[in-house]
Structure 1
């Protein structure tokens, strides 16, 4: 698989990711929710940290996280380049391209969104507001909007430990970039043998 085809995958994912984020940011108030189906909602939240909303504490925690993401994306990019150069299996290149695109999509938010959007609290944000953005370079928040509340309700009394209490399954809110990373990783796990074939001499041994 050529680097050109891998780049096309990356560009398509980035476009879908950024268009969806810009639309949500400029049409939704923070916390606003729209039911699409009973099991799927558009729910606008902003993530200041890592996956699941985790943060690096301290004044420079956000900056450290963004810089770490930039270093990681360089490593993933190098992995993609060498895989293409070495004629690696197609499934490996596709997976790396998806992981790269997802990581890059969230990096765009972290690096630039604080500059190009104003705050979404109790208002719809403006793209390139005249008064400036809500933050500074490297201090943007990642826009999340995809919610799949597959189950929510009071558990039966016979359920050990949790019986009679409210329980919800799959609460995380995420975005297209997160989905791309997850799918890329899942593909590597499912097609591990195809993505990382053993050398002939190892198989013979």
Structure 2
């Protein structure tokens, strides 16, 4: 009976599971944006808890509305940046497919980046609707794609800290 290869060897080189995660993120992101856009008018909000609202806003810029007031060129610049990031991430996923946490993080970032790229291509802006506030602090509204990107970034940091700690 032939021995099976370890999971890392077997998974190495295959994009399927990681692209699957990215597709799930894109679907969740786009479905929630469609639902919010159908239920709310632009600028309309609804308090859900004492610290969380749903509100329909558009972001023509990047994170925290960076460059939102620029003359329109930012739509294409951020779209190109998202596509370039997706290509680099796909290469990294293929090359490191056996590293589960690293690839999960990259897949989340990939799905989030492409979710926001789709918005920019279809609408010319990103649809945001998750609105958190505590006391006098208020975060800019964001969406499922932004959440996936943030979670992916945190997982990348954790993965790197684990890797550095293991190298000692």
Using structure 2 for the length normalisation, give the TM-score.
Answer: 0.83
* 2: CA distance, partners of 1:59 / 1:102: 22
Equivalent in 160, 175, 187 of residue 143 of structure 2: 175
Aligned to 2:112: 102
Alpha-carbon deviation of 1:59?
4.9
Larger helix share, 1 or 2 = 2
Q: Does 1:31 align with 2:43?
A: yes
Q: Distance in 2 between matches of 1:24 and 1:93?
A: 30
1:185 to 147, 153, 157: 153
User: In the superposition, relative to structure 1, how do residues 173 and 82 fare at CA in structure 2: closer, same or farther (>3 Å)?
Assistant: same
CA contact (8 A) 1:96 1:184 kept: yes
**Of 77, 81, 104, which residue of structure 2 is paired with 1:64?**
77
Measure the CA separation in 2 of the matches of 1:112 and 1:94: 27
1:111 aligned partner: 121
Distance 1:74 1:37 in 2: 39
1:134-192 Cα deviation digits (max 9, x unpaired): xxxxxx110000011122xxxxxxxxxxxxxxxx2132100000000000001111232
Determine whether 1:93 maps to 2:77: no
Give the C-alpha shift of residue 7 in structure 1. 2.1
Give, in angstroms, the shift of residue 196 of structure 1.
6.8
Give the TM-score normalised by structure 1: 0.69
Mark the runs of 5 or more structure 1 residues left unpaired by the alignment. 114-139, 152-167
Q: What is the Cα-based RMSD across aligned positions, in Å?
A: 2.1
Larger Rg, first or second structure (1 or 2): 1
Q: How many residues align?
A: 155
Distance (whole Å) between structure 2 residues aligned to residue 104 and residue 59 of structure 1: 19
Worse-matched range after superposition: 40-49 or 50-59: 50-59
Please give the residue correspondences for 1:128-143 in structure 2 after superposition, counting only pairs within 5 Å. 140-143=124-127
Match of residue 6 from structure 2: none
CA distance in 2, matches of 1:141, 1:94: 27
Q: Structure 2 unaligned runs (5+)? A: 1-10
